[in-house]
Amino acid sequence: MLEQDWIWGFVGGLMIGGAGALFLLMNGRIMGASGIVGGLVDGSGRSNWGERLAFLAGLILFPPLLVGLYDHVDTRLTDNIWLLVVAGLLVGFGTRLANGCTSGHGVCGISRLSWRGMAATIAYIAAGGVVVLLFRHWLGVI
């Protein structure tokens, strides 16, 4: 079963990369989720807010239209409110401080052979690994 997950992962990955390629070649923008949203909420992206909003609208509203697929996905998100708040704050602050997240640094940065993108990706995967080790295997909270 696991192997099938890898195939779907790869196919979904191609779609994600295709979306980034479209955004770059048509609009001349880097597809980074945290940058697109962050620029909207902190006002730094005022000059192209329309594009940002349109991207977000597609991102939020299109997946639910894939009924059958959408309804059968279980996101298995925790309902521990403290974990959610702390994680949300860390993700929001961290991605804006680093100027990118999994899509911006990971997908768009590494594919441009950017050292910054690679270093960021190594840093967030390593930190995530340590947190899972700590909170799952030592403390047992996640």
Binding to other proteins (CB under 8 A) within 79-98 occurs at 79, 81, 83-98
Burial class (CB in 10 A: 0-12, 13-18, 19+), 99: middle
- Minimum separation from the CB atom of position 138 to other proteins (A): 10
For residue 102, give both structure tokens.
């999994």
- Closest alpha carbon to 102 in 20, 42, 5, 2: 20
Q: What's the rounded Cα separation, in Å, for the pair 94 and 98? A: 6
CB of 44 to other proteins, least distance (A): 7
Of positions 67, 76, 139, 140, contacts other proteins by CB under 8 A: 76
Alpha carbons 64 and 85: distance in angstroms, whole number: 25
Q: Does 49 bind other proteins (CB under 8 A)?
A: no
Task: Tell me which of 1, 45, 46, 64 binds other proteins, using CB under 8 A.
Answer: 64
Contact 44, 38 (CB under 8 A): yes
Select from 2, 47, 67, 68 the one that contacts other proteins (CB under 8 A).
Answer: 2
Cα 109 to Cα 17, 49, 77, 132, distances in angstroms = 12, 22, 28, 25
> What residues from 14 to 43 belong to the interface with other proteins (CB under 8 A)?
14-31, 33-34, 37-38, 41-42
Nearer to other proteins among residue 41 and residue 46 (C-beta): 41
User: Is 45 one of the binding residues for other proteins (CB under 8 A)?
Assistant: no
Least distance from C-beta 69 to other proteins, angstroms?
6
Query: What is the smallest separation between the CB atom of 14 and other proteins, expressed in angstroms?
Result: 4
